[in-house]
């Protein structure tokens, strides 16, 4: 099955799971699905106990993560329908106590990159060649802990962590430019010792290319990849609209239109 067909299916599964739960983060799940899919499909062998790791630091996009787990056969049949249900393994934010295939339980923003450092040090001690892929939200960069972790990674020249930023330009209520405008993000990361790369975050080819460069150690510095993305990507009336950041059950007219677009 071609990637673009799979990605439409993943978005439909995200939408249906949120419809069924009457609650969930739709827009930020749609914006990062290509990033997570590319990492998880080709770079992590979930059958191995010792494997590379994926940390979704922006844990509110958990429906995207779960939809890919389902695609890879890692969930029970119809388990996506239990999203946010009492006693479900698929909580609104990833909960490792309930779903042990998770590499980290996230929800409080800002923590993922620090956890990536912990995995990095463990892999170094084990002399393991495993990698850590950490996905941050662009609004999440306002958390100070991100920059403490970045300072450590840059100063120690840690080379087994690949940091992604989901640059969908929005956070919970507003545009990032309205809350804490960032005008020198590239220079900031570079000042912390990173190689800053900007790509189209919805391009599988570009995502694969940066991961290949990371694995082949093309750059001497740690890499951070700014993924230029669109919130609500894939459904025309949701794209670039913060109204669909966190939603309840969509009205039937909106749901039907979204499903038609994802079926095209």
Q: Is the pTM of this model over 0.85?
A: yes
d(CA 147, CA 141) in angstroms, rounded, equals 8
Burial class (CB in 10 A: 0-12, 13-18, 19+), 37: buried
Residue 1 pLDDT? 62
Give Rg (Cα) of the chain: 18
Report residue 120 as tokens: 């990095």
Is 108 in a helix, a strand, or coil? coil
What DSSP line would sit under 71-104, residue for residue?
A: HTT-S-TTGGGGTT-TT-SS-SS--TTT-TT-S-
- Angle at CA of residue 81, ends 249 and 5, nearest 5°: 85
- Residue 220 — φ and ψ, nearest 5°? -80, -20
Residue 181 pLDDT? 86
**Cβ count within 10 A of residue 73:** 8
Give me the residues of the chain with pLDDT under 50, please.
none
Exposure string for 210-227, b = 16+ CB within 10 A, e = fewer: bbebbeeeeeebbbbbbb
- Percent of the chain scored above 70 by pLDDT? 100
Closest CA to 20 of 253, 260, 257, 250: 250
Is 199 in a helix, a strand, or coil? strand
Could you tell me which CATH number the domain at 3-263 has? 3.40.50.970
Domain boundaries, the chain: 3-263
Residue 183 pLDDT? 87
């Amino acid at each position: 099955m071609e990637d673009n067909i799979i990605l439409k299916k993943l978005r439909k599964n995200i939408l249906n799971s949120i419809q069924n739960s009457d609650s969930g983060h739709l827009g930020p799940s749609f914006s990062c699905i290509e990033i997570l899919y590319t990492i998880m499909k080709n770079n992590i062998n979930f059958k191995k106990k010792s494997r590379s790791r994926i940390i979704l630091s922006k844990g509110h996009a958990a429906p995207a993560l779960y939809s890919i787990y389902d695609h890879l056969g890692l969930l029970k049949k119809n388990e996506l329908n239990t999203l946010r249900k009492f006693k479900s393994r698929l909580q609104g934010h990833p909960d490792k106590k309930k779903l042990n295939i998770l590499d980290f339980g996230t929800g409080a923003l800002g923590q993922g990159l620090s956890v990536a450092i912990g995995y990095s040090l463990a892999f170094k001690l084990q002399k393991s060649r495993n990698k850590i892929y950490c996905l941050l939200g662009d609004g999440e960069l306002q958390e100070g802990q991100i920059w403490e972790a970045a300072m450590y990674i840059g100063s120690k020249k840690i080379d087994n962590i690949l940091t992604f930023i989901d640059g969908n330009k929005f956070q919970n209520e507003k545009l990032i430019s309205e809350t804490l405008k960032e005008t020198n993000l590239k220079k900031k990361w570079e000042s912390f010792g990173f190689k800053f790369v900007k790509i189209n975050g919805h391009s599988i080819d570009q995502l694969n290319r940066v991961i290949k460069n990371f694995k082949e150690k093309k750059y001497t510095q740690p890499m951070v990849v700014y993924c230029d993305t669109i919130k609500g990507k894939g459904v025309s009336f949701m794209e670039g609209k913060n109204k669909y950041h966190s939603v309840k059950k969509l009205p039937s007219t909106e749901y039907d239109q979204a499903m038609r677009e994802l079926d095209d």
